[in-house]
Amino acid sequence: WYVTCSRPINKPVTVDQINLISPALPPSKPSTVDLDHLHLLQLIGHGRYGMVWRAELGNKEVAVKVFQSQHKLYFDNEKEIFQSDLLSHENIIQFIGDCESHSETDSCLEYLLVLAYIPSGSLMNFLKESTCNFFEMCRLVQSTARGLAYLHSEVLAQNGLHKFPIVHRDVNSRNILVKNDGSCAISDLGFAKRVCGSRFISENEDEEEEVSSFITDVGTLRYMPPEVLDGAVNIRDCESALKQVDTYALALVIWEITSRCNDLYRLSGRLDAVAPAYMLPFEAELGLHPTFDNVKTLVSTNNQRPQFPVQWRSNIFEMKYLIEIMEDSWDSDAEARLSAACIDNRIGELRRFWQQRQSSNQLQLQINPADDDEI
* Nearest distance from C-beta of residue 167 to ligand ADP, angstroms: 16
Q: What is the closest distance, in whole angstroms, from the C-beta atom of residue 86 to ligand ADP in the complex?
A: 20
Among Mg ion, ligand ADP, none, residue 187 binds (CB under 5-8 Å by kind): ligand ADP
Q: Is 193 among the annotated ligand-binding positions?
A: no
147 binds Mg ion (CB under 5 A): no
CA-CA-CA-CA torsion sign (262, 264, 267, 269): negative
Task: Select 26 or 231, whichever has its Cβ closest to ligand ADP.
Answer: 26
Give strand pairing partners of 214: none
Question: Rounded to the nearest 10 degrees, how much is the dihedral formed by the CA atoms of 122, 126, 127, 128?
Answer: 100
Range 240-260 burial, b when 16+ CB lie within 10 A, else e: bbbbbbbbbbbbbbbbbbbbb
| Residues that bind ligand ADP in the complex, under the rule CB under 6 A | 44-45, 47-50, 52, 63, 65, 93, 115-118, 121-122, 174-175, 177, 187-188, 190
DSSP states of 61-105 as a string?
Answer: EEEEEEEEGGGHHHHHHHHHHHTSTT---TTBPPEEEEEEEE-TT
Active site residue 170: yes
Looking at the Cβ atoms of 8 and 47, the one nearer to ligand ADP is: 47
- Nearest approach in angstroms of CB 93 to Mg ion is 11
Rounded to whole angstroms, the Cα distance separating 54 from 341 reads 32
- CA dist., res. 75 & res. 60, Å (int): 23
Taking the least distance from each CB to Mg ion, the nearer of 69 and 356 is 69
Least CB distance to Mg ion at residue 372 (A): 46
Ranked by CB distance to Mg ion, the top (closest) residue is 190
Question: Cα(64)–Cα(52) distance, rounded to whole angstroms?
Answer: 5
65 binds, among Mg ion, ligand ADP, none (CB under 5 to 8 A by kind): ligand ADP
Name the residue nearer to Mg ion (CB basis): 38 or 123. 123
SS3 275: coil
Active-site pick, 76, 170, 188, 246: 170
Interface with Mg ion in residues 163-202 (CB under 5 A): 175, 188, 190
> Beta partners for 43?
53
Active-site positions? 170
Binding residue positions for ATP: 65
Name the site residues for Mg ion (rule: CB under 5 A): 47, 175, 188, 190
